[in-house]
Structure 1
Amino acid sequence: MSNMFCFQCQQTAGNKGCVRTGVCGKQPTTANLQDELVYELIRLAEAAKEKRSDLSDRLIPDGLFTTLTNVNFDDSAIKKLMGRIIDERRRLGGNDDSKVIRLFEGETDIVSLRSTLLFGMKGMAAYAHHAMQLGYVDDEVIAWFYKGLCALNCTHTVEEWLSLIMEFGRINYKCMELLDKANTETFGHPGPTRVNVDVKKGPFIVVSGHDLKDLHQLLEQTKDKGINIYTHGEMLPAHAYPELKKYSHLVGNFGTAWQSQQKEFESIPAPILFTTNCLMPPRKSYVDRVYTTSVVGFDGLFHIDEDKDGKKDFTPLINQSLALGGYEHDRSMSGINGGHMLTTGFAHKTILSNAEKIIDLIKNEKIKHIFLVGGCDGAHPGRNYYTEFVKQTPMDSLVLTLACGKYRFNDLDLGEIDGLPRILDMGQCNDAYSAIKVALALADAFGCNINELPLTLVLSWYEQKAVCILLTLFALGVKNMYLGPTMPAFLSETVTKVLVDTYGLRPITDSEQDLDAILCIRK
């Protein structure tokens, strides 16, 4: 008998499912607790759908976010959260013995569709959580969590499941729009910014994850203390926000994407704060200096809670940073391809402010194609595909990118087109809304639909936020996307065929072969 079953991420064992220990490091007890947490969320949603409370509105997205890949490995924290969910369900009149369908049991295609919807909702929960942290809530988005969770516990035809999934994709677009509004109204619109990857001597703190509010609070608490702050992984785009970049001690980016953290954090003389995923089990050489906050957790790590007003006290990190002292000398570091500077901040406002120029360049055939090459990074050996793909893109093409997959190539210098850098980093995976908004604006300018633009999406995926973005793209009618490094294990052959036949979804093959096919079609 299997001790666990999990196939929600790209690196799941054998591209079938983790059954003994998660490739991510998740133990069977944790995996089973997370499944039980989802079942309790379904029970809460059924009890509260007609009489929602402020607490249930918060517990549901936070609970789903807790089960995202590489977020929470702490059994005690999961049990504590589950207890709060059960208490609220009972308060709302829900029964302890209400039955819940075993999500991953049953007919293959139904399990596939049910899992697709669940994993998409887990991704949207992350976006809703970040927006809530900044005080932004959309009632339609929150209401859909209740609808979706209740739908998981019902019987549907294949057609009904597909309809639900497309409806979810449209709701997730609203959620991404909400998060963009929350971030930009709070911290300003990102602008093009150069970020150094070298590390200065002296005390420092590394901040990983996605949460801009956490970073802002840490910056405010460390100013004038002689401590430098470095972003890591998906936090890199924070440098582009005016209200964050004004802090002079936000000085650079440490390391590359999440899957390299165990090597890059080896014996690091500084504390590391994980605000969201992607946390990997820390090694002994640095485990004593890793801190978690929000829904992130790992047994034995110091967790920073917030008070009733949403404030967090980062004194433990500050004191440890000063005690460790950082590096004795400036330390030269580089990206995967040897570069020492990264550029970020090309979100929708920046690109659309150059829309007229980009349109003219397309009309004059100085830009013949635009590629969106982005998504999650990971340790799968096939991911060098994205580096090779970008290196081979023609000089008369632009490469838009976002999320941590960009670390495969974001330190490359691919030149410019009339002063416009060929690689344009649009931000985190949380900023996928920017890419969609730009694509829709260009389609409007040319009087066509997205699929008629000289635009191709070449996506990498790892976890559930990538799933919800993909479902949103399907819901918007985007076709002929390339996806890798593997197709999701939770997509059955039948469901995959539906997506291939309906949306032209294509698994990546060889970078040169795929690029030739794309450019040949456009000719």
Structure 2
Amino acid sequence: MTDDKNMFCFQCEQTQGGVACLKGGVCGKNIATANLQDDVIGALVGLAKVVPEADFNSDQAQLILDGLFTTLTNVNFDDPVIQNTINQIKAAAKDVAVYDMDQIWQANEDIRSLKALILLGIKGMAAYAHQAGVLGYTSETVNKFFLKALRALGDDTLGMDELLPLTMEVGHVNFEAMKLLDQANTETYGNPVPTEVPLTIEPGPFIVISGHDLYDLKMLLDQTAGKGINIYTHGEMLPAHGYPELKAYPHLRGNFGTAWQNQQKEFKDIPAPILFTTNCIMPVRKSYHDRVFTTSVVGYPEMTHIGADKDFTPMIEKALELGGYDEPQALTGINGGHTVTTGFGHNFVLSNADKVIGAIQKGDLKHIILVGGCDGARVGRNYYTEFVEEAPENTLILTLACGKYRFNDLQLGNIDGLPRMMDMGQCNDSYAAIKVALALAEALDCGVNDLPLTLVLSWYEQKAVSVLLTLLSLGIKNIHLGPTLPAFVSPNVLNYLVENFELTPTTTAKADLARILTPQM
């Protein structure tokens, strides 16, 4: 199926025709890049088969994290770098044969579906474990599970009876990975606090930093201190403004632009360099080609890459050379707002749990709705804006991940002194939302599924898959998922998820709101 004239990829929500990308990725990767990324996974399967668990070491674990993370959507488009990753993995595996991924892609559709869920789930988990590892936080349990999952991918004897429980185990272990990353971020940078973030870009030199890695932001802030350069977050880096250790830097000024998929338009002729720290880089256009820098596992042909030493001198020199804007640029969110607010982490929400519970008991708060997940360019994602706009005033909206850019500049008012909309952070901060749900259920002496709580999720790439599996592994039901269902889920697997977890495809905002809220009215 995959050769030098074909590829096979259905790992993102926007896959071609809702089936698979075969002649080039919607994300921008070409056939050669896609097949190299398959070879990364095949090499990792080979490594997992030959490494005894008792001898598994940190270098091998890092190879797995780097390799899996490299293959996430919109992370690395640089073929020589990907080939070098393959070579390193093969060397560690003593040049054992690379597993042929066509054996998965061409398998029975239910086996393919379950193995795809496992593969994409561990890709997302690898991103979270990788970010925690940068801060020195690792888990032997999480690292060794990658071996187990990769071995299963390469075991052609496994059937649904073996793969279904392993799929749920992916979710269970991913919960531990997200918990570890939460611990790493909060112990390093403090618990987030509500912070209003301006969207106006001030005159003078500046740098835009995108992605998720807070460590890269901290290094950049240190190296630009006192140099007259302002730093602006972009995309999933926005929640960094809520962390006390980061917001203490006065030159962390605000947020540039809106959702990640608008970067090609919003970065046009930008008089500043842009740093991509994790995924979400799109094919780079000539209008800003000379201003893009990458670091960590991110790669793009002909872009300057900042290595492990995190020496941002080339970026700093470029920022001073370009000089920034001469006048303030009063940018806005998608709905015209000039500021957005972030920093409503689990520590803040739980410290105000008595207000939330009191509002529920008084009847002022009828329902809590988590509207979170990835954003993307496909038509139909305005559903999430409409959903938030039409949600009644007695509903509390929690949000996280980049899908919030559809509506996070809206003014929704308050309920008993608490903002009706609270941004809980990045996609990896799904752990925070889960922790809040579990704590509220305990406080109200009920199960999570008995709470006046509904999850309305948008998905785009693999981290959303790992989060969904985590929610399912915790027994959380009645999740609304959209804007389309994953192409890699077969009808039989979908039926299993619907019957056992009441997984519900989104329809229209009005219809779904009516279905969600009617029992509580």
Which TM-score tier does this pair reach, normalised by the shorter chain? over 0.9
Matches of 1:47 and 1:265, distance apart in 2 = 45
Note if contact 2:234-2:255 (Cα within 8 Å) is conserved in structure 1. Answer: yes
Matched, 1:48 2:51: yes
Contact 2:373–2:464 (8 Å) recurs in 1:
yes
How do 1:347-496 residues align onto structure 2 when only pairs under 5 Å count? 347-496=345-494
Q: Could you list the per-position Cα deviations for residues 344-365 of structure 1 after superposition, in whole angstroms to 9, with x for gaps in the alignment?
A: 0000000000011111111111
Query: Take 1:322 and 1:481, find their aligned partners in 2: how far apart are those partners?
Result: 48
User: Residue 456 of structure 1 contacts residue 480 of structure 1 at CA under 8 Å; is this kept in 2?
Assistant: yes
Deviation at 1:103, TM superposition (A): 2.2
1-side partners of 2:99 and 2:463: how far apart?
Answer: 30
Cα offset, 1:399, TM superposition: 0.1
Q: Structure 2 CA distance, aligned partners of 1:218 and 1:76?
A: 27
CA distance in 1, matches of 2:177, 2:318: 37
Trace 1:136-285 onto structure 2 (pairs within 5 A): 136-154=137-155, 155-285=157-287
Greater CA deviation, 3-12 or 148-157? 148-157
Q: Which amino acid aligns with 2:44?
A: L
CA offset at residue 438 of structure 1? 0.1
3-state DSSP class of the match of 1:382?
coil
For the pair 1:123 / 2:121, whether they are aligned, the reply is no
Of residues 57, 64, 70 in structure 2, which corresponds to 1:66? 70
Residue 293 of structure 1, CA deviation: 0.3
Match of 2:196, SS? Answer: strand
1:101 to 1:22, Cα distance in 2 relative to 1, 3 A: closer
Matches of 1:382 and 1:318 in 2, distance apart?
A: 40
Amino acid at match of 2:177: C
Give 1:97 deviation, angstroms. Answer: 7.2
Q: 1:420 to 1:287 in 2, by over 3 A?
A: same
**Partner AA of 2:140 in structure 1:** D
Conserved 8 A contact 1:42-1:100: no
What residue number does 1:335 align with? 333
Residues 251-284 of structure 1 show CA distances to partners (whole Å, capped at 9, x for unaligned) of: 0000011100000000000000000010000110
Structure 2 residue runs of 5 or longer lacking an equivalent are none
Q: Is residue 43–residue 100 contact of structure 1 (8 Å, CA) maintained in 2?
A: no
Q: Distance in 2 between matches of 1:522 and 1:415?
A: 21
2:9 corresponds to which of 6, 14, 20: 6
How far off its partner does 1:47 sit?
1.4
Please say if 1:509 is aligned against 2:507: yes
Matched residues in 2 for 1:353 and 1:156: separation?
Answer: 46
> Does structure 1 conserve the Cα–Cα contact (< 8 Å) formed by 2:39 and 2:98?
no
Residue 53 of structure 1 deviates from its aligned partner by: 2.1
Report the CA distance shift for 1:101/1:378 in structure 2 as closer, same or farther (over 3 A). Answer: closer
2:366 maps to a residue whose letter is K
Task: Note the aligned Cα RMSD (angstroms).
Answer: 1.1
Distance 2:98 2:121 in 1: 27
Which moved further from structure 2: 388-397 or 157-166?
A: 157-166
Deviations 1:219-261 (A, max 9, x none): 0000100000000000000000011000000000000111000
Whole-Å Cα distance in 2 between the matches of residues 385 and 137 of structure 1? 38
Distance 1:222 1:443, change over 3 A: same
2-structure distance, mates of 1:444, 1:160: 33
Q: In the TM superposition, what is the alpha-carbon distance from 1:31 to its structure 2 partner?
A: 0.1
**Structure 1 residues 357 and 273: CA distance shift in structure 2, 3 A:** same
Taking a change above 3 Å as real, the CA distance of residues 115 and 17 of structure 1, as seen in their structure-2 partners, is same
User: Does the aligned pair in 1 maintain the 2:16–2:26 contact within 8 Å?
Assistant: yes
DSSP-derived class of the 1:5 partner: coil
- Tell me what 2:111 maps to: 110
- Structure 1 counterpart of 2:81, from 72, 77, 80: 77
Distance of 1:243 and 1:82 partners within structure 2: 37
Give the AA of the match of 1:235: M
Report the residue type matching 1:323 in the other structure: E
User: How far, CA to CA, are the matches of 1:315 and 1:77 in structure 2?
Assistant: 22
1:24 counterpart (10, 13, 27): 27
**Contact in 2 for aligned 1:49/1:146 (Cα 8 Å):** no
1:286 to 285, 288, 293: 288
Task: Measure the CA separation in 2 of the matches of 1:36 and 1:123.
Answer: 18
**Distance (whole Å) between structure 1 residues aligned to residue 303 and residue 217 of structure 2:** 19
Paired residue type of 1:15 = G
Q: Aligned-pair distance for 1:105?
A: 1.4
Q: TM-score, normalised by structure 2?
A: 0.98
Q: Which runs of 5+ in 1 are unaligned?
A: none
2:387–2:513 contact (8 Å) kept in structure 1: yes
Give the whole-Å Cα distance in 2 for the aligned partners of 1:414 and 1:330. Answer: 27
Separation in structure 1 between the aligned mates of residue 486 and residue 100 of structure 2, nearest angstrom: 29
The answer to whether the 8 A contact 1:45-1:149 is kept is yes
Report SS of the residue matched to 1:103. helix
Superposition deviation, residue 445 in structure 1: 0.5
Task: Please state how far the C-alpha of 1:99 moved relative to its aligned partner.
Answer: 7.2
How far residue 102 of structure 1 moved from its aligned partner, in angstroms, is 2.2
Of the three residues 342, 345, 351, the one matched with 2:343 is 345
How far did 1:478 drift? 0.6
Q: Which amino acid aligns with 2:287?
A: S
For 1:105, the aligned partner's letter is Q
Report how far residue 45 of structure 1 moved: 1.1
Q: 1:34 aligns with which of 22, 33, 37?
A: 37
How far 1:156 moved relative to its partner?
A: 1.7
The one-letter code matched in structure 2 to 1:47 is V
* Number of residue-to-residue matches in the alignment: 516
Contact 2:201 2:328 in 1 (8 A): yes
Distance 1:54 1:344 in 2: 35
Contact 1:37/1:82 (CA < 8 Å) preserved in 2?
Answer: yes
* CA deviation vs aligned residue, 1:195-218 (integer Å, no higher than 9, x gap): 000100110000000000000000
SS in structure 2 at match of 1:349: helix
Q: Secondary structure at the match of 2:254?
A: strand
> How far is 1:100 from its partner?
7.0
**Native 8 Å contact 1:65 1:122 kept in 2:** yes
The Cα offsets for residues 88-107 of structure 1, whole Å up to 9 and x where unpaired, read as: 111xxx63477777221111
Separation (CA, whole Å) in 2 of partners of 1:492 and 1:512: 28
Compared CA separation, residues 174 and 145, structure 1 to 2 (3 A): same
